[in-house]
A = this chain, B = another copy of it.
Amino acid sequence: MTKSFHIESPCTAIQAAIDHKINHKTKPLGALGRLEKIAAQICLIQQTTSPVLQSPTLVIFAADHGIAQEGVSPYSQDVTHQMVRNYLQGGAAVNVFARQNGLDLLVVDAGVNHDFGQITGLINAKIGFGTRSYLHEPAMSINQCSKAIEQGAEIVASLAHKGSNVVGFGEMGIGNTSSSAIIMSLLTDFPLEQCTGRGAGLDDEGLERKRKLLAEGMRRHHSARTPLEFLTTFGGFEIAMMVGAYLEAAAHRMVILVDGFIASAAFLVASELHPAITSYAIFSHQSDEQGHQRLLQHLGAEPLLKLDMRLGEGTGVALAYPLVQAAVNFMNEMASFESAGVSQIQEH
């Protein structure tokens, strides 16, 4: 990787002040549960006891996968570019939820196998017309992987410069649960079978075929060793771009919202490269996709939502955002025992 990232965990000197403020709000100690932890995390990231979320932005990276043509998904590869148009027209689930909850939505062509021509609203960061099939050769070249990481970083740097301090990433790419399953298995030592799920809706037979194909792909490239080699060999352009986006967001000390299975696999790669990134991450939801629960456990992550969803796109990020906003709002808006004249717990 040519681009380097400077990522540090936040300084914890402010922790006592944060805890004091939370514990003097008009509620029993700890009664806001997870929201208190999220509030404390954001305060640490922003080094303040009065945090602010500015210009929340959700970036969807879309790309195609050579493996999709081997029969790992019940959907045709065309669905990737069709869904990109759907995002641009505002008709997908993520559009509805981002609109409702006040997140800006950016759509990035990271490498869709389609010529969009002149099309309004699409960010062109195309690395290629889809990856190659790792049943035959590495999904991408080292140069392509580096370029994807740089592009992802550039997009986030531009958001940071415009004042955004909270960002989440979604993805679209028929075949990308396959890449994620292999990358997860290689980086966590969970057996491939436990990492491989039904994706967009495989039946039992399809799932069996997917598992066999992925195992074959892994055997073919057994010399890959490092996180970046795994990403290059089995990844997708959208996944690599997301890795760069995560790293740049942490370098800018932004709050990072992690979506579902694919987004978590990309996060896993980023966290292997720079473990300190974890301090900046809030996990939005646990997907129904096989493997995601284990992946979250591996990452030590507690997702905010568990709604049996398995859609990707950043839908988990968009739906969880009001909870993140609520954590910030109670820090800023709730009265303290003193200010409200409410008695604290009695000593016995």
Contact = CB atoms under 8 A, between A and B. Distances in A.
A224 to B, nearest CB: 30
Given A91-B26, A322-B322, A345-B75, A33 B83 contact: no
B206 A79 contact: no
Contacts of A78: 343
A310 interface: yes
B307 A206 contact: no
Contact of A34 (B30, B99, B307, B315): B307
A260 to B, nearest CB: 10
A69 interface: no
A97 B335 contact: no
Given A27-B311, A97-B329, A309-B31, A343 B91 contact: no
A118 interface: no
A323 B315 CA distance: 12
Interface in A72-90: 74-76, 78-79, 82-83, 85-86, 89
A61 B319 CA distance: 29
A201 interface: yes
Given A75-B346, A79-B342, A319-B323, A200 B31 contact: yes
Contacts of A334: 91-93, 95-96
A56 to B, nearest CB: 14
B323 A307 contact: yes
Given A307-B34, A309-B32, A340 B101 contact: no
Contacts of A117: none
Contacts of A343: 75-76, 78-79, 82
Contacts of A215: none
Interface of A: 25-35, 74-76, 78-79, 82-83, 85-86, 89, 91-93, 95-97, 99-101, 200-201, 205-206, 288, 304-311, 315, 319, 322-323, 325-326, 329-330, 333-335, 339-343, 345-346, 348
